[in-house]
Protein backbone atom coordinates (compact mmCIF):
# COMPACT_ATOMS: atom_id res chain seq x y z
CA UNK A 1 0.00 0.00 0.00
CA UNK A 2 1.39 3.38 -0.99
CA UNK A 3 2.12 5.67 1.93
CA UNK A 4 1.31 9.33 1.26
CA UNK A 5 2.68 12.28 3.17
CA UNK A 6 3.44 15.99 3.08
CA UNK A 7 6.20 16.95 0.60
CA UNK A 8 5.58 13.96 -1.65
CA UNK A 9 6.84 14.74 -5.17
CA UNK A 10 3.93 14.49 -7.59
CA UNK A 11 5.65 13.66 -10.85
CA UNK A 12 4.16 14.59 -14.21
CA UNK A 13 3.96 12.20 -17.15
CA UNK A 14 4.30 12.68 -20.88
CA UNK A 15 1.22 11.21 -22.55
CA UNK A 16 2.00 11.61 -26.24
CA UNK A 17 4.67 13.13 -28.46
CA UNK A 18 5.01 13.39 -32.24
CA UNK A 19 7.35 15.01 -34.76
CA UNK A 20 6.18 16.40 -38.12
CA UNK A 21 9.30 16.93 -40.29
CA UNK A 22 7.60 19.18 -42.87
CA UNK A 23 4.26 20.57 -41.75
CA UNK A 24 1.54 21.51 -44.24
CA UNK A 25 1.83 25.10 -45.45
CA UNK A 26 -1.64 26.10 -44.24
CA UNK A 27 -0.98 24.65 -40.81
CA UNK A 28 2.31 26.52 -40.72
CA UNK A 29 0.40 29.69 -41.49
CA UNK A 30 -2.17 29.05 -38.76
CA UNK A 31 0.59 28.39 -36.24
CA UNK A 32 2.48 31.53 -37.32
CA UNK A 33 5.70 29.62 -37.82
CA UNK A 34 8.81 31.76 -38.25
CA UNK A 35 10.21 32.02 -41.75
CA UNK A 36 12.17 28.89 -42.59
CA UNK A 37 10.70 26.85 -39.74
CA UNK A 38 8.66 23.95 -41.14
CA UNK A 39 9.38 21.16 -38.64
CA UNK A 40 7.16 20.93 -35.57
CA UNK A 41 6.96 18.80 -32.45
CA UNK A 42 3.75 18.20 -30.50
CA UNK A 43 3.54 17.03 -26.91
CA UNK A 44 0.79 16.39 -24.35
CA UNK A 45 1.24 15.76 -20.63
CA UNK A 46 -0.77 15.58 -17.43
CA UNK A 47 0.61 18.77 -15.85
CA UNK A 48 0.37 22.11 -17.61
CA UNK A 49 2.75 24.17 -15.49
CA UNK A 50 5.48 21.53 -15.51
CA UNK A 51 5.05 21.31 -19.28
CA UNK A 52 5.26 25.07 -19.76
CA UNK A 53 8.53 25.02 -17.83
CA UNK A 54 9.67 22.07 -19.95
CA UNK A 55 8.83 23.92 -23.17
CA UNK A 56 10.96 26.82 -21.97
CA UNK A 57 13.76 24.36 -21.23
CA UNK A 58 13.51 23.11 -24.81
CA UNK A 59 14.19 26.61 -26.15
CA UNK A 60 17.47 26.63 -24.21
CA UNK A 61 18.59 23.23 -25.41
CA UNK A 62 17.72 23.41 -29.11
CA UNK A 63 16.99 25.89 -31.89
CA UNK A 64 13.23 25.84 -31.38
CA UNK A 65 10.48 28.31 -30.60
CA UNK A 66 7.20 27.59 -28.84
CA UNK A 67 4.37 28.41 -31.24
CA UNK A 68 1.41 26.97 -29.33
CA UNK A 69 0.80 26.08 -25.68
CA UNK A 70 -2.65 25.69 -24.14
CA UNK A 71 -4.13 24.20 -20.99
CA UNK A 72 -7.25 22.06 -21.16
CA UNK A 73 -10.29 22.90 -19.06
CA UNK A 74 -10.72 21.02 -15.82
CA UNK A 75 -7.20 19.59 -15.65
CA UNK A 76 -5.85 16.09 -16.11
CA UNK A 77 -8.28 14.57 -13.59
CA UNK A 78 -11.14 15.54 -15.89
CA UNK A 79 -9.51 14.75 -19.23
CA UNK A 80 -12.05 13.18 -21.57
CA UNK A 81 -9.57 11.23 -23.70
CA UNK A 82 -6.65 8.94 -22.90
CA UNK A 83 -3.78 11.02 -24.29
CA UNK A 84 -5.05 14.57 -23.78
CA UNK A 85 -3.94 15.18 -20.21
CA UNK A 86 -4.20 18.87 -19.36
CA UNK A 87 -1.90 20.61 -21.84
CA UNK A 88 -0.66 20.62 -25.41
CA UNK A 89 2.55 22.25 -26.56
CA UNK A 90 3.87 22.75 -30.08
CA UNK A 91 7.43 23.76 -30.88
CA UNK A 92 8.89 24.63 -34.26
CA UNK A 93 12.40 24.46 -35.62
CA UNK A 94 14.36 24.80 -38.85
CA UNK A 95 14.78 21.03 -39.24
CA UNK A 96 13.62 17.75 -37.69
CA UNK A 97 16.86 17.26 -35.75
CA UNK A 98 16.46 20.51 -33.81
CA UNK A 99 12.82 19.76 -33.03
CA UNK A 100 13.70 16.24 -31.89
CA UNK A 101 16.34 17.70 -29.56
CA UNK A 102 13.78 20.14 -28.21
CA UNK A 103 11.22 17.41 -27.63
CA UNK A 104 13.78 15.26 -25.83
CA UNK A 105 14.70 18.18 -23.58
CA UNK A 106 11.04 18.77 -22.75
CA UNK A 107 10.42 15.08 -22.06
CA UNK A 108 13.45 14.89 -19.78
CA UNK A 109 12.30 17.88 -17.76
CA UNK A 110 8.73 16.62 -17.42
CA UNK A 111 9.90 13.20 -16.25
CA UNK A 112 12.94 14.19 -14.17
CA UNK A 113 12.92 17.96 -13.57
CA UNK A 114 10.64 20.24 -11.59
CA UNK A 115 7.37 18.87 -10.25
CA UNK A 116 4.42 19.60 -8.02
CA UNK A 117 4.65 18.65 -4.34
CA UNK A 118 2.04 17.66 -1.79
CA UNK A 119 1.06 20.19 0.88
CA UNK A 120 -0.93 17.69 2.94
CA UNK A 121 -0.94 14.10 4.11
CA UNK A 122 -3.15 12.62 1.40
CA UNK A 123 -1.65 14.44 -1.60
CA UNK A 124 -4.89 16.31 -2.35
CA UNK A 125 -3.37 19.81 -2.17
CA UNK A 126 -0.56 20.07 -4.72
CA UNK A 127 1.62 23.10 -5.39
CA UNK A 128 4.38 24.07 -7.80
CA UNK A 129 7.22 26.24 -6.52
CA UNK A 130 9.98 25.96 -9.09
CA UNK A 131 12.96 28.28 -9.44
CA UNK A 132 13.92 28.81 -13.07
CA UNK A 133 17.54 29.90 -12.79
CA UNK A 134 17.72 31.11 -16.38
CA UNK A 135 14.72 31.61 -18.63
CA UNK A 136 14.55 30.61 -22.26
CA UNK A 137 12.57 32.46 -24.90
CA UNK A 138 9.15 31.06 -23.95
CA UNK A 139 8.89 31.98 -20.26
CA UNK A 140 10.74 35.24 -20.90
CA UNK A 141 7.93 36.27 -23.22
CA UNK A 142 5.25 35.08 -20.79
CA UNK A 143 6.78 37.03 -17.91
CA UNK A 144 7.89 40.03 -19.94
CA UNK A 145 11.50 39.71 -18.79
CA UNK A 146 14.81 39.53 -20.60
CA UNK A 147 15.93 36.09 -21.70
CA UNK A 148 18.22 34.60 -19.09
CA UNK A 149 16.45 36.15 -16.09
CA UNK A 150 15.59 34.11 -13.00
CA UNK A 151 11.96 33.34 -12.21
CA UNK A 152 9.98 31.81 -9.38
CA UNK A 153 7.16 29.83 -10.99
CA UNK A 154 4.47 29.55 -8.32
CA UNK A 155 1.16 27.67 -8.68
CA UNK A 156 -1.36 26.29 -6.19
CA UNK A 157 -5.11 25.83 -5.72
CA UNK A 158 -7.09 29.11 -5.65
CA UNK A 159 -7.02 30.32 -2.03
CA UNK A 160 -3.66 28.73 -1.32
CA UNK A 161 -2.17 30.47 -4.36
CA UNK A 162 -3.36 33.94 -3.38
CA UNK A 163 -2.27 33.60 0.25
CA UNK A 164 1.11 32.10 -0.61
CA UNK A 165 1.83 34.49 -3.49
CA UNK A 166 1.56 37.40 -1.07
CA UNK A 167 3.90 35.62 1.34
CA UNK A 168 6.43 34.97 -1.43
CA UNK A 169 6.42 38.59 -2.56
CA UNK A 170 7.05 39.77 1.00
CA UNK A 171 9.75 37.20 1.75
CA UNK A 172 12.28 38.17 -0.91
CA UNK A 173 13.41 40.98 -3.19
CA UNK A 174 11.23 39.90 -6.09
CA UNK A 175 8.58 41.53 -8.26
CA UNK A 176 5.41 40.10 -9.77
CA UNK A 177 6.07 39.62 -13.49
CA UNK A 178 2.91 37.67 -14.37
CA UNK A 179 -0.25 37.10 -12.34
CA UNK A 180 -2.43 34.04 -12.91
CA UNK A 181 -5.67 34.85 -11.13
CA UNK A 182 -7.81 31.86 -10.21
CA UNK A 183 -9.40 30.03 -11.72
CA UNK A 184 -7.04 29.08 -14.50
CA UNK A 185 -8.28 26.53 -17.03
CA UNK A 186 -7.21 23.88 -14.51
CA UNK A 187 -8.76 25.75 -11.54
CA UNK A 188 -5.45 26.85 -10.02
CA UNK A 189 -3.74 30.23 -9.66
CA UNK A 190 -0.36 31.78 -9.02
CA UNK A 191 2.25 33.84 -10.77
CA UNK A 192 5.77 34.36 -12.03
CA UNK A 193 8.11 36.40 -9.82
CA UNK A 194 11.42 37.80 -10.99
CA UNK A 195 14.57 38.79 -9.14
CA UNK A 196 18.00 37.34 -8.50
CA UNK A 197 18.33 33.57 -8.50
CA UNK A 198 18.73 33.49 -4.71
CA UNK A 199 15.73 35.79 -4.24
CA UNK A 200 13.60 33.61 -6.49
CA UNK A 201 14.65 30.54 -4.52
CA UNK A 202 13.67 32.27 -1.27
CA UNK A 203 10.32 33.21 -2.80
CA UNK A 204 9.74 29.57 -3.80
CA UNK A 205 10.50 28.41 -0.26
CA UNK A 206 8.16 30.99 1.25
CA UNK A 207 5.40 30.06 -1.18
CA UNK A 208 5.74 26.37 -0.33
CA UNK A 209 5.60 27.00 3.41
CA UNK A 210 2.56 29.25 3.05
CA UNK A 211 0.66 26.69 0.98
CA UNK A 212 1.42 24.03 3.59
CA UNK A 213 0.26 26.39 6.35
CA UNK A 214 -3.09 26.86 4.63
CA UNK A 215 -3.38 23.11 4.08
CA UNK A 216 -2.86 22.45 7.79
CA UNK A 217 -5.00 25.39 8.98
CA UNK A 218 -7.74 25.84 6.36
CA UNK A 219 -10.25 27.62 8.63
CA UNK A 220 -7.92 29.50 10.95
CA UNK A 221 -8.32 33.22 10.18
Residue 20 pLDDT: 99
- 190 and 124 in a common domain: yes
Residue 80 pLDDT: 81
DSSP-derived secondary structure letter, 66: E
Asked, for residue 3, whether it belongs to a domain, the answer is no
Sequence-distant (6+) residues with CB within 8 A of 89 are 42, 43, 44, 51, 52, 54, 55, 66, 68, 69, 106
- 103 and 123 in a common domain: no
- 134 and 107 in a common domain: no
Are 124 and 134 a contacting pair, CB within 8 Å? Answer: no
Show which of 114, 132, 158 is a domain's final residue. Answer: 114
- 161 and 127 in a common domain: yes
Collapse the DSSP code of 34 into the 3-class scheme (helix H, G, I; strand E, B; otherwise coil) and give the result. coil
pTM: 0.96
Asked, for residue 74, whether it belongs to a domain, the answer is yes
pLDDT (tens, 9 = 90+) of the chain, 221 residues, equals 677 889 999 999 999 999 999 999 999 999 999 999 999 999 999 999 999 999 999 999 999 999 999 999 877 777 789 999 999 999 999 999 999 999 999 999 999 999 999 999 999 999 999 999 999 999 999 999 999 999 999 999 999 999 999 999 999 999 999 999 999 999 999 999 999 999 999 999 999 999 999 999 999 99
Sequence-distant (6+) residues with CB within 8 A of 166 are 210
Give the domain extent around 172: 119-216
Domain count within the chain: 2
- 124 and 57 in a common domain: no
Q: How many CB atoms lie within 10 A of CB 85?
A: 24
Residue 144 pLDDT: 98
Residue 75 pLDDT: 79
Amino acid sequence: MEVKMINDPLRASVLSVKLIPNVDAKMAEELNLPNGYRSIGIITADSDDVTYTALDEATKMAEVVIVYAKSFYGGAANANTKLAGEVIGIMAGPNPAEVKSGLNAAIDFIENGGCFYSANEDDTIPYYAHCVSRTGSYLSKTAGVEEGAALAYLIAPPLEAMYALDAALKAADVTLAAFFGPPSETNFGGGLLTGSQSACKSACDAFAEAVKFVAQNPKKI
